[in-house]
Structure 1
Amino acid sequence: MTYAGSFASPWKRGLIRIIENLTGRLRLLWLVRKWEVDPDRDPNFWKSVLDRLDIKLTTPQDQLDSIPKTGPLVVVSNHPHGLVDGIVMAHLLSHARDDYKILARAFLRHVPRIDKYLLPVAFPHELDAIQTNIRMRKEAIAHLKNDGCIALFPAGTVATSDTWFGPVVDPDWLPFTAKMIRQSGAQVLPVFFPGANSRAYQIADKLSVTLRQALLLHEIKAAMHKDQKVVVGELIDPEALQSYEKDGPGLMKFLKQKTYDLKPV
């Protein structure tokens, strides 16, 4: 359990492991060991992980019921936390269907029970990032054309503040999502995650990519014992997006605004 492996530099990998061990990794490893031997854990993998982290999904049932159970669907969301967002998203979608795939960093890859639900996204600094992400995009579009569900965080990175002590928001959403929607004719479902990572993470982001990545496990630990009241928005039909047929950036700006409009007042 480490984010160090995505860096080629030995000293960066070593620094990340040291910081991870000091800020949360050892506690998380202990929880993983307890989860592995727990005979009473929930049969739903995602629910069992959230139970171990003491994180409860408190989205109202009527919102969960509004998630389409069949047909091509693209679920878009802001990305305030990191790995926890992906786990909560998977648990949320598992209430409605079993053909969902989450576009996420390859942190949980090679766990047999959940591998079919993940499409790996490489960090930009990884040596094979271009090849990995091209393969991911092809698989995602093919899955949608087979009437599947794709969920992703179009920012492509965890939300940060523009200044050291400013508000935390996603950067501009990347246009690949627009291409998926256009080519598949999928419906779009905006989902909003409340919250943000710690101020220490925001400051680390301004100092170094290495430091920021070294604190991702700490942010998982910081998310423990907190409810996740994710907001599921209204479904957007392809016809409502026709005016953006040739305007990918405009479509992403529209979907980002639709998502942030779900933020509770």
Structure 2
Amino acid sequence: MSKKEKFIDLKEIIRKKSPALARFMPWFVLNYLRRIVHEDDVNDFISRHGHQMGLEFVYAIMDEFGVNLKVIGEEKIPKSGRYLMASNHPLGGIDGIAFMSAISRVRKDFIFPVNDILLSLDNMKEFFIPINKHGSNAENVRLFNETFASDKLLLYFPAGLVSRKKNGLIRDLEWKKTIITKSKQHKRDIIPMYMDGRNSNWFYNLANFRNKLGIKANLEMLYLVDETYKQFDKTMHIIIGDPIPWESFDRSKSDLEWAAMVRDKVYELKKEHNL
């Protein structure tokens, strides 16, 4: 019997990033990391669906996890026009897939700025561009600006990080001002969107414990794949709000303050629909 092909090899990834770390990492640590990133599960999924591209791959992930998607306000998804859809980021994996799946019911010409790890997923690369971070190379900055200037629909997680739990409430961290700056620059109205969902208490407790210790590294992010594999057979609600005209982002507030206002609008959608 031939050995199964490894599409994702954690040991090889670590070796390429840090040969010294790979050489001295104890086997039990490597095995633990393999378990929490679900190396075998991910490789099994890719072996079955790696030939599918674009939305076919998105729908295959939704089917694999048995996500029951309920979209409230689907008629508010614009069939055309240069909009920016801004959502909270509750889960860190399946929520991005659900975002694309929901929007594709109405419109398929969307682009999603994402981090470096997701850019390596060839199956969905037609939808992705790199997030414009400080220190990004000139090509990434050019692509980011060209995309905002295009007629494509922009999907965005303005927090950039997964929601955390504070004082008993699960909410996004600070939203970056980029959505406001780019909204005004490219005359894109912003459509607020709310997604329900939560990670495990373990995830939130680890994040809070890390903060108390003053550790800056987001250790809890190591567990996001593991958190994703706890999301089987869930019903996910998505609520689409009314567009906020780009002209409303005037000088009465800073761009950062306007971003916080849009975030508040997102959580108002949750209250309005008793979720």
TM-score normalized with structure 1 length = 0.80
Aligned counterpart in structure 2 of residue 179 of structure 1, from 177, 181, 189: 181
Provide the C-alpha distance between the structure 2 equivalents of 1:150 and 1:33, rounded to a whole number of angstroms. 30
Provide the C-alpha distance between the structure 2 equivalents of 1:28 and 1:71, rounded to a whole number of angstroms. 36
- Give unmatched runs, 5+ long, in structure 1: 123-128
Superposition deviation, residue 91 in structure 1: 1.2
Superposition deviation, residue 42 in structure 1: 10
Aligned counterpart in structure 1 of residue 256 of structure 2, from 246, 249, 258: 249
Provide the C-alpha distance between the structure 2 equivalents of 1:78 and 1:232, rounded to a whole number of angstroms. 12
Superposition deviation, residue 18 in structure 1: 3.9
Superposition deviation, residue 74 in structure 1: 0.6
Provide the C-alpha distance between the structure 1 equivalents of 2:33 and 2:59, rounded to a whole number of angstroms. 25
Superposition deviation, residue 43 in structure 1: 6.3
- Secondary structure, in 3 states, of the residue corresponding to 2:59? helix
Aligned counterpart in structure 1 of residue 219 of structure 2, from 205, 208, 211: 211
Superposition deviation, residue 245 in structure 1: 7.3
Residue identity over aligned pairs, in percent, reads 19
Paired AA for residue 256 in structure 1: R
Q: Please list, as runs of the form range in 1=range in 2, the aligned pairs for 1:114-263 lying within 5 A after superposition.
A: 114-121=124-131, 130-132=134-136, 136=140, 138-162=142-166, 166-205=168-207, 206-207=209-210, 209=217, 211-239=219-247, 241-244=248-251, 247-263=254-270
Asked which structure has the greater CA Rg, the reply is 2
Superposition deviation, residue 134 in structure 1: 6.9
Provide the C-alpha distance between the structure 2 equivalents of 1:75 and 1:43, rounded to a whole number of angstroms. 18
Aligned counterpart in structure 2 of residue 52 of structure 1, from 64, 69, 72: 64
CA RMSD of aligned residues (A): 3.1
Paired AA for residue 70 in structure 2: T
Tell me if structure 2 keeps the 8 A contact 1:76–1:154: yes
Tell me if structure 1 keeps the 8 A contact 2:54–2:124: no
Provide the C-alpha distance between the structure 1 equivalents of 2:231 and 2:86, rounded to a whole number of angstroms. 21
- Secondary structure, in 3 states, of the residue corresponding to 2:108? coil
1:5-43 Cα distance to aligned partner (Å, 9 max, x none): 6976837x96985444333503343333333479xx996
Aligned counterpart in structure 1 of residue 35 of structure 2, from 6, 22, 44: 22
Number of residues paired by the alignment? 250
TM-score normalized with structure 2 length = 0.78
1:10 aligns with 2:21: yes
Tell me if structure 2 keeps the 8 A contact 1:192–1:231: yes
Paired AA for residue 63 in structure 2: D
Tell me if structure 2 keeps the 8 A contact 1:24–1:221: no
- Secondary structure, in 3 states, of the residue corresponding to 1:140? helix
- Give unmatched runs, 5+ long, in structure 2: 1-7
Superposition deviation, residue 69 in structure 1: 1.9
Superposition deviation, residue 138 in structure 1: 4.1
